[in-house]
Amino acid sequence: NAGVMQNPRHLVRRRGQEARLRCSPMKGHSHVYWYRQLPEEGLKFMVYLQKENIIDESGMPKERFSAEFPKEGPSILRIQQVVRGDSAAYFCASSPRRGAGETQYFGPGTRLLVL
């Protein structure tokens, strides 16, 4: 029973390029969350998605960032025209249901470095 999968594990981009981060939730999980961890900081919530729906994107920057969780396939976090400040570890988590106390299982993260 595979855990949450994220790829790539490491991604290097030059300023102005696009970054695409993928997250495959655990089998049977239909709720996905994205978090960003800046160097020497804790995790900050970005977005919460269910299949084909964005439920809460209150933590997403207003520009350049978007997320989707299609009916088939992984969830994608897309960052357009990356800047150096986007360098961070991006973690995806999944849970089977929506509800207080439902444990979120985390993936290993994608470490993005913008040159």
Partner 1 sequence: GEDVEQSLFLSVREGDSSVINCTYTDSSSTYLYWYKQEPGAGLQLLTYIFSNMDMKQDQRLTVLLNKKDKHLSLRIADTQTGDSAIYFCASSGGYQKVTFGIGTKLQVIP
List 56, 61, 80, 115, residue binding partner 1 (CB under 8 A): 56
Give me the count of residues in the chain: 115
Tell me: does residue 74 bind partner 1 (CB under 8 A): no
DSSP E strand boundaries for the chain:
5-7, 10-13, 19-24, 31-37, 43-50, 53-56, 65-68, 75-79, 88-95, 105-106, 110-114
List 34, 65, 69, 91, residue binding partner 1 (CB under 8 A): 91
Stretch of 20-28, 64-72, 76-84, 105-113 lying at the interface with partner 1 (CB under 8 A): 105-113
Tell me how far, at minimum, the Cβ of 70 lies from partner 1, in Å.
21
Q: CB nearer to partner 1: give 33 or 65.
A: 33
Q: CB nearer to partner 1: give 17 or 29.
A: 29
Sheet holding 65-68, edge to edge: 5-7, 19-24, 75-79, 65-68
Instruction: Copy the structure tokens of residue 18.
Output: 């696009």
Site track for partner 1 across 1-40, x = CB under 8 A:
---x--------------------------x-x-x----x
How far apart, in whole angstroms, are the C-alpha atoms of residue 21 and residue 106?
A: 15
Tell me: does residue 105 bind partner 1 (CB under 8 A): yes
